[in-house]
Structure 1
């Protein structure tokens, strides 16, 4: 009997997905940057534009969703913020960048990667990227002068890194961290013992890569990801017991990284940057000081994605950005927590079963990002919006089969999430006051 295919997949733009696949290669693996080129061609951007053209011409349906409206709001706010601060031209340029690296990737991945099989193709590239970056880092450590096979050298004498958007060890570590749940998903769905062993070995490799990159933010993100897993897997009491039992191991792991302390000079500079971000927000609470202006006013980055957003785009921009991420997490939780007895017959469908697993996978990836970004300025990093788009695509596929999950789109739910944004700002302010 012929396997049923959803209307959603029948009307997909396969040529659009093909160019999106090539864009993913150019963006993450970046073979175009493996040799030095002082004037590189923006291949990834061109591939994204080509994919967008085919997407507009043939993709049905186009997944917009609340998140797209919120990100569109952020994009429109950026030039307004620039005008408010006397720099309209810079605001327009920044808004264009946000469209290319924020709104468009979310929109494209949410619409084009619309089946578990297409998700697997993207996961294949993510896995390959991790392997290549890890190998590159090991080549840096093996070279007497710390130079990897791409020509990029270690930073601070010991920290591994890659090329392009992963030139910062913290960005590479964050990507490693967000891919850990993906590797566990791939391992759970693999029928090959060799591949299951490979995915498990790669998990260990990525943890070692985070150690070699010496990213404190990624370490803390990993801790929060593990705590979230324990909480949802075992409940509050058992999670607390597991946390207590593993506390010595956690302290040992933290001691192997650069010191994490408010007494450390770099840590105090980080807290001082947070405080300066609060002062910038106070000077322009509605529209902020303008995108990319934090470093111009403070001479160093904010070291906190939340502070960076409310300092640069004010409470309006922060609320839109915060709601986009948290709403996606809530949608994923709604999928994960569906009544399995009630929908037992629907869950016999392999694609739906995999999508529920994918929702759990993306939820933990977002937990990792949200925890890590508390110590890194990664509010606008492109792979955040790609992960959000992939997560929303999974949600839509499940929603089409189980309409009950649509409750997460209730305006009351969204209003509560939006209200949490200023509350989180107040909590952030209190943390800064305590640490100073």
Structure 2
């Protein structure tokens, strides 16, 4: 059942990422994505953890779901409230599926591989359209068409139907490719990582997303910081930024405060909307009803559309994911197993080597049952505790790439945020199943930290506007 649940989860993510017509062809007219969602729910129910709905992330998601409903309801149109909830439910669903079925390193690799292969499909389709100068391709967004300096930017369909959406996925997917790396096997890692990351960077270039370019620089700095130090990593990031600029990454568009004047005006509009509708905002995905362009800032658009209630729970989800990622990546605060003092008794040494034949039929302890059971608990032991720390570190960098890109893009409640949040919770569960004991923030502390973070982010936006 666990394997079936993972397969359905991967198919669900693939369908949402590429769009139902791409995956199912003519059969998409029968809305097979709803049937797929129902199957995923049925096969997942037996695997639900008792603590699944006690996690702070689930509290945050529930709060966002409530804010989505109320934000539409307060716009005066009752019929749009259930529709808004239906638009947000796939994000909730994918988080639950990831936490439920990703209980091993291999399952995280399968999720990453699914996103990578789907991205390759979109990159190839877009690159072929750019090469043929096919401005009418569904995989092309023509910016400035009709002018001499127009640019063709690749994109996907469905939830990645904008070049910036697609670019944000690609930049956050780069660190996840290191899930396939094996410590100490440099040649193998080079063969796997160099071509895959090169494909993702090529796709990023073809999106010509300025926010994603800055996010990629941030990902590079964070990735190399522990290897070569903070200052050398920052210098390397600066060199990468200069090289990208020289290669006309942005498609000829400037990267400056003046070039983004219209976006800053959208920020100001967003803060005005937040002040006029402070509780539940102007409505989920309704920002462009009040401004001709979106805010191009996830903080502004979330606060304006969902108000302080929805924005707080959005920040709670981010803070919880990041804090738990930091806890796991730093390692267990105590050994996974109690230390053995000298001299070691013979019976204890024999147990460390493994049970003897004479004990084969003896009653097993809870620890032995977990280690040897073929179910989900056994899958958690397919990776060592140090490797779990590495995985958590890469997911943290992926989240950082998402957040940096999100500062310049209005992508507050997109599916890949909840995928990475689910991955982080899965890494924590794997570490705990391995016997690791982590310094996890209490729910009350997370609630307080999120309140401070939410207020601080809004103040930062306000100060930037005032300085400008």
Q: Compute the TM-score of the two structures, normalised by the length of structure 2.
A: 0.81
Deviates more, 1:86-95 or 1:359-368: 86-95
The answer to whether the 8 Å contact 1:219/1:254 transfers is no
**Residue 177 of structure 1 aligns with which residue?**
171
Q: Which runs of 5+ in 1 are unaligned?
A: 1-11
The answer to whether the 8 Å contact 2:225/2:233 transfers is no
Say if 1:291 and 1:144 are closer, same or farther in 2 by CA, change over 3 A.
closer
Q: Deviations over 1:268-288 (max 9, x none)?
A: 111111110000000011211
Residue 176 (structure 1) shift:
1.0
1:361-372 aligned within 5 A: 361-372=394-405
Q: How far apart in 1 are the matches of 2:106 and 2:25?
A: 35
**Residue 43 of structure 2 aligns with which residue?**
54
- Alignment of 1:427 with 2:418, yes or no, is no
Residue 137 (structure 1) shift:
2.3
Q: How far apart in 2 are the matches of 1:345 and 1:123?
A: 35
Deviates more, 1:118-127 or 1:40-49: 40-49
The answer to whether the 8 Å contact 1:188/1:196 transfers is no
**Residue 85 of structure 1 aligns with which residue?**
75
Say if 1:58 and 1:222 are closer, same or farther in 2 by CA, change over 3 A.
closer
Q: How far apart in 1 are the matches of 2:175 and 2:444?
A: 30
**Residue 254 of structure 2 aligns with which residue?**
259
What RMSD in Å do the two structures reach over aligned CA positions? 2.9
Say if 1:92 and 1:154 are closer, same or farther in 2 by CA, change over 3 A.
closer
Q: How far apart in 2 are the matches of 1:350 and 1:379?
A: 32
1:23-172 aligned within 5 A: 23-30=12-19, 32-33=21-22, 40-61=29-50, 63-64=52-53, 65-99=55-89, 101-146=90-135, 152-156=139-143, 157-172=151-166
Q: Deviations over 1:404-433 (max 9, x none)?
A: 325234522442233211111111111122
Say if 1:362 and 1:131 are closer, same or farther in 2 by CA, change over 3 A.
same
Q: Which runs of 5+ in 2 are unaligned?
A: 144-150, 340-379
SS in 1 for 2:283: coil
The answer to whether the 8 Å contact 1:140/1:154 transfers is no
1:209-220 aligned within 5 A: 209-220=203-214
The answer to whether the 8 Å contact 1:115/1:351 transfers is no
Q: How far apart in 2 are the matches of 1:108 and 1:61?
A: 14
**Residue 390 of structure 1 aligns with which residue?**
423
Q: How far apart in 2 are the matches of 1:113 and 1:16?
A: 9
Q: How far apart in 2 are the matches of 1:75 and 1:348?
A: 34
**1:295 maps to which of 282, 288, 299:** 288
Q: How far apart in 2 are the matches of 1:284 and 1:203?
A: 43
Q: How far apart in 1 are the matches of 2:381 and 2:321?
A: 25
Aligned residues: 416
Between structure 1 and structure 2, the one with the greater Rg is 2
The answer to whether the 8 Å contact 1:190/1:196 transfers is no
**Residue 325 of structure 1 aligns with which residue?**
318
- Alignment of 1:208 with 2:193, yes or no, is no
Say if 1:53 and 1:207 are closer, same or farther in 2 by CA, change over 3 A.
same
SS in 2 for 1:155: strand
Residue 388 (structure 1) shift:
1.2
Q: How far apart in 1 are the matches of 2:461 and 2:107?
A: 39
Q: Compute the TM-score of the two structures, normalised by the length of structure 1.
A: 0.86
- Alignment of 1:274 with 2:242, yes or no, is no
